[in-house]
Structure 1
Amino acid sequence: MVDRGASELPLPDDWLAHPDPVLALNLMGSFDWDLDAGVMHMDATAHEVFDLRPDEYDGHPESLTVRVPPVEGRKLDTLVSQALKDGSENYGAYFRIRLRDGTPRWTHTQGYIRRDETGRPYRVIGIVRDATRELREIGARTEQATLDEARRRRTDVVQVITAALAHARTVQDVIDVLEDTDGITHLGATSLVMGLVEAGRIRMIAAGPRASYVPGTRITRLDVKYPMNEVVRSLAPHFIESPEEFAESYPLLWPHITDLQITSAAYLPLIVQARPIGAMGLLYNDRRGFTGEERDVLVALGSSIAQSLQRAMFYEGEKDLAEGLQQAMLPRSIPSVPGADIAVRYRAASFGGSLGRDIGGDWYDLVPLPGGRVGAVIGDVQGHDTHAAAVMGQLRIVLKAYATEGHTPATVMSRASAFLHELDTDRFATCLYAEADLSTGVVQVVRAGHIDPLIRAPDGSCRRVTVDGGLPLGLSAEFGGLEYPVSTIELDPGDTLLLCTDGLIEQPGADLDDGMLTLQALITTGPDDVDDLADRLIDVAEERGGDDDVALLL
């Protein structure tokens, strides 16, 4: 192609009148490609786009190979050939050329294909332009979009982690959230380490993956020159931006983690109410340095983790206290009873809400009585807190005392109700007291608002025994209904009597009667041994979970 003014090739009749000024204003050159003659006319601006002097172009497209690298030329030829063959009206492409001084330039061409009445292409009219600035702007927008997407991902990860931490109840729950695939690893960390401050030392509670654990760091003094220890002392985060900085700053630690190929790390103090409770470290093997925004995100995340850890530590302390109180209120041991096999179980509630509420007022007791008799008690004080457990402990003691004194089952129950009514509490309790004569199999049962007992025969069949009952303990005294009816049932050798609280029967969204039928089916198909049967029933309750504790006596 030659400059229009210098070209001796004849121009087409419909060539644009004075195209140079029109297109040059838009930094575009024009071309007219006669496919039959094999010549391509280009204007002066097109020459400039290709960085060609008029005498360097002879009007044949092959002359452009001096500026178009072979790889780019083949891609462009393939695109144009396909457009000519498939009936397209136009084509467009970006391609690179190399200027006279070797500088690369992105170029864009757009061609309009003219065809005769048979559809045969005979001419292409189009433009060619310098697209370097355009693609640079596109690249900048793409880079900004990439940065925005990375920022959005970091924000999403923080939101996901924060939401998950809201449900963490124990320290291990917090660790599990951070080690989960939706947790810290989405921030790009290779390894996570975490420690808690205890008695002037740091105890490591998480180090993953396993290869990242350094021997001798399970418990360390605060003055040891380790990064977690330092951020606890300084109450400030520490960002290590290169392996060289890590090796120089922590020569004792670095040799033990070289296999992890760490390139940078972020250590964050875990602070609650201006007091450090621990520290966390995130180690990376695919980056160097941290932007200001990344540092801010990690510091904010550390604050959220610290709050969750504090709640978890408080919860675990409350839970230990509650369980200790519960166990102290229950019998330390169940006496052996000649002629009977006894099994008892207790399962604490599993609340997802308030801390320190994994405790209730359920209890069991076994009272050896004169003449080969035995008293079995199962009960449930209203509420799930330490007050319920305290009331339960007092009720258990007085029930046992009244039974040991030789009172009848009805009297034992009425006196217990009066006792609860006189306590400074608004709690009531359901209870079932069964007094069995093991020499005859006769059982006298008194029920105070509690669920009925169950009996399993030696053949495995199980039935619910409906017994008369009165109001729950405390309420019967308040409403003047201290008379409790006594029901008599008979046990045959090999029969199993089961007493339980409603936590074993109630299921979310299910009717109480349906729960009783489910329990009967479990008992029917369960093992014969009372200990094995008790294990199976309590395991089922544990798997099911629920917001009520369970007491069981067989």
Structure 2
Amino acid sequence: MAEPGAQSSAMSPPEEWPAPPHLILALNGMGSFDWDLERGRLHMDAAALRIFDVGPDEYDGRPASLSHRVPPAEAARLDSLVAQAIKDGSESYGAYFRVRHRDGTLLWIHTHGTIYRDDSGRPHRIVGIVRDARQELQLSRTAGPVTAGDRRRGHTSVVERTTAALAHARSVRDVVAVLGDAQGLSRLGVENVILGLVEAGRIQLVSEGQAGSFVPEHRFTRVADEFPMSEVVRTLTPRFVRSRAEFASCYPRLWPHVQPLNIGSAAYLPLIAQARPIGVIGLFYREECEFSTHERSILVALGSSIAQSLARAMLFDQEHDLAEALQHAMLPRRIPGVPGARIAVRYRAARLGQDIGGDWYDVIQLPGGPPSGGGRVAVVIGDVQGHDTRAATLMGQLRIVLRAYAAEGHPPATVMARASAFLHELDPERFATCTYADIDLTTGALQVVRAGHVDPLVRHAEGICRRLPVVGGLPLGLSAEFGRLDYPVTTVCLAPGETLVLCTDGLVERPGHDLDDGMARLSRAVRTGPQDVQQLADLLCTLSLSGDGEDDMALLLLRRSGTTPPDHHGTVRRHVVPGDAGGLAGARRAIREAVRAWGAHERAEEIELVADELITNALLHTDGAAQMSLALPRNGERRLRLEVADRSSVLPHREEPADSRVHGRGLLLVDRLADVWGVTSRGNGKSVWCEFLCP
């Protein structure tokens, strides 16, 4: 592959003067980028894509599309640097990092970005350049011969500088980044660095070293092999290779891989923690060196310092992996397919060791709906107070309890009240914020209860995104503590094509910034994002790139399927059996919610009263269950049609007003409240129907 720097020198000079900026950049091996943080879009010009070895047809404008070109350790270090610059209010940043081209070679490049912020200081855009940095790094290492005195003076400050740099390294990736980047090589005064970790009798190479030095078959080597790294682990003593001839004679299996490299000597240092080897580091020098007693002592001290940082980083990674595994174990293993909806969920753990949180999501199939083509479903999102394993375990217990209460068919307010009492009994010192939404996918009726949580968002089919104002109650646990368990319910209609967005504050809240700013930023991203919920969820997760990653985050998106016909809004169906007071109450509630969701508030009480009378009559005067349906027929009129069917063939009759009996006046009430009503005989019973004209 031709190098961008080589291409630029062979190009003809521009005809116009002065040359346009993009041509000046290209001629000097530079490319430009423009990163829209709010939309998660990253524009790269043609020259920048060439530096990354990515074709224009391979790039879709998402930062993730470049991830396969950047090694994980380099990506982690670059993300951390950019996030820090954004967090501390910097106007710009610069960094060297490596990209891997198609042929496997690693290329050093340099990037510089200018951060643009709004009046409140919130970053929304980064504009900058990327350029090929191989020549300048090569020149910096070949500025002149290095004398023994220079080497001796350089070694005296190696331990101090390296220890200071490693003080901020939390994970193994951070340690690798500190040792292996251009600044690290300069700090150590070496040409190259490799790092291996010891596990189960093998040495795993975790730092690849510089471009052209990586040997794929040596990523894993056995401790018993005849390699210098293996020898150091076996003997727990450093190994100093003073010349290329010593490499060839002592390590014939390794020499063919070392011979083409510009290496004259090497020092292999064991990394020992708690009297056992945890790894080995190899430092490679351009010149041959005898390694004096002083130099060897300095390098041994360097190995001890690196070993301490590496042991701390490995413990951090183990704790984080354990905590993250616990968190994921508490979350649902899978999200069930829901007819009538498309659902996407995402979870991102905190980056600080055991500092996971209690964020969770859930999707629960509810009773009382048809088996297919719609039905009722509950979606839940919440956050237990705290960032520790206790928060994660409480989250798991609370999620199971919420699921159990919801599956029993309790209304949303009751589910939340019982969950609050449960959490308070379980741990009086903790509370949890939560949003619970009960959705009838047939009608679009959406009941939302909010317990101290951030408001949900609704994205309309035409792209408008608005914050859904939900009346809030106290967080779970606190409401039980203060005896305020009456949670208000907000009922709206989720039309076909609309998307409900639920998230925890880890996505929108950042220290030092107003929560409303984060919600506005999220709303803009939802509004301009893709329609597909999976793609939209991926985009929203990129919002965390500008945060510090110190809080976990949960995200749930539900998009109601289909489109709204101009003359039809949906159908509500309920099956009520004799003696089921809960079923009758659920039917009333479903009618009330659907009528209000359809915008017929002025007739909601009349329709609910008539439906209650017809269902009660069917249960009292027949031997079986009642089938209730409420629909907006497919015609141009706003006419709601209510039907109650049973298995009895006995037709009802309206009582005369002169009759002195208290009972038996149900059809008289129907006749007075409905615009029109009637009875239809069926082969297996009858159906009493009535219609209500709604403005």
Q: Which residue of 1 aligns with 2:363?
A: 366
Give distance in 1, aligned partners of 2:480 and 2:318. Answer: 37
- After TM superposition, list the pairs within 5 Å mapping 1:150-229 onto structure 2: 153-214=154-215, 216-229=217-230
Residue 211 of structure 1 and its aligned partner are, at CA, apart by: 3.5
Q: Which residue of 2 aligns with 1:356?
A: 354
Q: Which residue of 2 aligns with 1:496?
A: 499
Q: Which residue of 1 aligns with 2:421?
A: 418
Write the letter of the residue equivalent to 1:180.
D
Q: Which residue of 1 aligns with 2:387?
A: 384
Q: Which residue of 2 aligns with 1:111?
A: none
Give distance in 2, aligned partners of 1:319 and 1:178. Answer: 22
Q: Which residue of 2 aligns with 1:27?
A: none
Give distance in 1, aligned partners of 2:217 and 2:437. Answer: 58
Q: Which residue of 2 aligns with 1:326?
A: 327
Give distance in 2, aligned partners of 1:318 and 1:515. Answer: 30
Give CA deviations for 1:324-361 in whole Å, capped at 9, x if unaligned: 2111111111122222221111111233xxx222x211
Conservation of the 8 A alpha-carbon contact between 1:227 and 1:250: yes
Write the letter of the residue equivalent to 2:478.
L
Q: Which residue of 2 aligns with 1:311?
A: 312
Q: Which runs of 5+ in 1 are unaligned?
A: 1-145
Give CA deviations for 1:4-45 in whole Å, capped at 9, x if unaligned: xxxxxxxxxxxxxxxxxxxxxxxxxxxxxxxxxxxxxxxxxx
Give distance in 2, aligned partners of 1:216 and 1:535. Answer: 35
Q: Which residue of 2 aligns with 1:113?
A: none
Conservation of the 8 A alpha-carbon contact between 1:157 and 1:182: no
- After TM superposition, list the pairs within 5 Å mapping 1:410-489 onto structure 2: 410-424=413-427, 426-489=429-492
Residue 157 of structure 1 and its aligned partner are, at CA, apart by: 4.3
| Comparing 422-431 and 466-475, the one that deviates more | 422-431
Conservation of the 8 A alpha-carbon contact between 1:157 and 1:183: no
Structure 1 residues 205 and 505, CA gap change in structure 2 (3 angstroms) = closer
Give CA deviations for 1:34-66 in whole Å, capped at 9, x if unaligned: xxxxxxxxxxxxxxxxxxxxxxxxxxxxxxxxx
Conservation of the 8 A alpha-carbon contact between 1:228 and 1:267: yes
Write the letter of the residue equivalent to 2:533.
V
Q: Secondary structure at the match of 2:281?
A: strand
Radius of gyration: which is bigger? 1
Q: Secondary structure at the match of 2:382?
A: strand
Q: Which residue of 2 aligns with 1:236?
A: 237
Give CA deviations for 1:95-153 in whole Å, capped at 9, x if unaligned: xxxxxxxxxxxxxxxxxxxxxxxxxxxxxxxxxxxxxxxxxxxxxxxxxxx98876664
Conservation of the 8 A alpha-carbon contact between 2:169 and 2:313: yes
Write the letter of the residue equivalent to 1:197.
V
Structure 1 residues 248 and 147, CA gap change in structure 2 (3 angstroms) = closer
Write the letter of the residue equivalent to 2:190.
A
Residue 210 of structure 1 and its aligned partner are, at CA, apart by: 4.5
Write the letter of the residue equivalent to 1:552.
L
Give CA deviations for 1:209-261 in whole Å, capped at 9, x if unaligned: 34334565333332323222222222121222233333333333234312225
Q: Secondary structure at the match of 2:198?
A: strand
Conservation of the 8 A alpha-carbon contact between 1:192 and 1:280: yes
Residue 388 of structure 1 and its aligned partner are, at CA, apart by: 0.9
Write the letter of the residue equivalent to 1:360.
G
Conservation of the 8 A alpha-carbon contact between 2:412 and 2:437: yes
Write the letter of the residue equivalent to 1:364.
Y
Q: Which residue of 2 aligns with 1:25?
A: none
Write the letter of the residue equivalent to 2:486.
E
Give distance in 1, aligned partners of 2:428 and 2:271. Answer: 42
Q: Secondary structure at the match of 2:175?
A: helix
Write the letter of the residue equivalent to 2:164.
A
Write the letter of the residue equivalent to 1:495.
E
Give distance in 2, aligned partners of 1:216 and 1:487. Answer: 62
- After TM superposition, list the pairs within 5 Å mapping 1:25-40 onto structure 2: none
Q: Secondary structure at the match of 2:297?
A: helix
Give distance in 1, aligned partners of 2:252 and 2:154. Answer: 35
- After TM superposition, list the pairs within 5 Å mapping 1:3-402 onto structure 2: 153-214=154-215, 216-351=217-352, 355-357=353-355, 359-369=356-366, 370-371=368-369, 372-402=375-405
Write the letter of the residue equivalent to 1:309.
L
Q: Which residue of 2 aligns with 1:48?
A: none
Conservation of the 8 A alpha-carbon contact between 1:462 and 1:524: yes
Conservation of the 8 A alpha-carbon contact between 1:436 and 1:444: yes
Conservation of the 8 A alpha-carbon contact between 1:442 and 1:489: yes
Q: Secondary structure at the match of 1:421?
A: helix
Residue 543 of structure 1 and its aligned partner are, at CA, apart by: 4.7
Give distance in 2, aligned partners of 1:545 and 1:160. Answer: 26
Q: Secondary structure at the match of 2:535?
A: helix
Residue 170 of structure 1 and its aligned partner are, at CA, apart by: 2.5
Report the RMSD for the aligned CA atoms in angstroms: 2.2
Structure 1 residues 152 and 421, CA gap change in structure 2 (3 angstroms) = farther
Residue 362 of structure 1 and its aligned partner are, at CA, apart by: 0.6
Conservation of the 8 A alpha-carbon contact between 1:431 and 1:473: yes
Structure 1 residues 331 and 194, CA gap change in structure 2 (3 angstroms) = same
Residue 275 of structure 1 and its aligned partner are, at CA, apart by: 1.0
Q: Which residue of 2 aligns with 1:92?
A: none
Give distance in 2, aligned partners of 1:165 and 1:522. Answer: 37
Give CA deviations for 1:475-504 in whole Å, capped at 9, x if unaligned: 111121112111212222222111111111
Give distance in 2, aligned partners of 1:195 and 1:149. Answer: 29
Q: Which of 538, 541, 546 is matched with 2:541 structurally? A: 538
Give distance in 2, aligned partners of 1:546 and 1:256. Answer: 40
Give distance in 1, aligned partners of 2:267 and 2:150. Answer: 22
| Comparing 339-348 and 159-168, the one that deviates more | 159-168
Give distance in 2, aligned partners of 1:480 and 1:438. Answer: 34
Structure 1 residues 208 and 420, CA gap change in structure 2 (3 angstroms) = same
Task: Determine whether 1:512 maps to 2:515.
Answer: yes
Q: Which runs of 5+ in 2 are unaligned?
A: 1-146, 370-374, 558-695
Conservation of the 8 A alpha-carbon contact between 1:231 and 1:269: yes
Conservation of the 8 A alpha-carbon contact between 2:244 and 2:288: no
Q: Which residue of 2 aligns with 1:112?
A: none
Structure 1 residues 218 and 340, CA gap change in structure 2 (3 angstroms) = closer
Structure 1 residues 165 and 496, CA gap change in structure 2 (3 angstroms) = same
Write the letter of the residue equivalent to 2:362.
D
Write the letter of the residue equivalent to 1:288.
C
Percent identity of paired positions between Structure 1 and Structure 2: 63
Residue 363 of structure 1 and its aligned partner are, at CA, apart by: 0.7
Q: Secondary structure at the match of 1:527?
A: coil
Q: Secondary structure at the match of 1:342?
A: strand
Q: Secondary structure at the match of 2:218?
A: coil
Normalised by the length of structure 2, the TM-score is: 0.55
Give CA deviations for 1:288-336 in whole Å, capped at 9, x if unaligned: 2123332222111111111122122222222222222111111111122
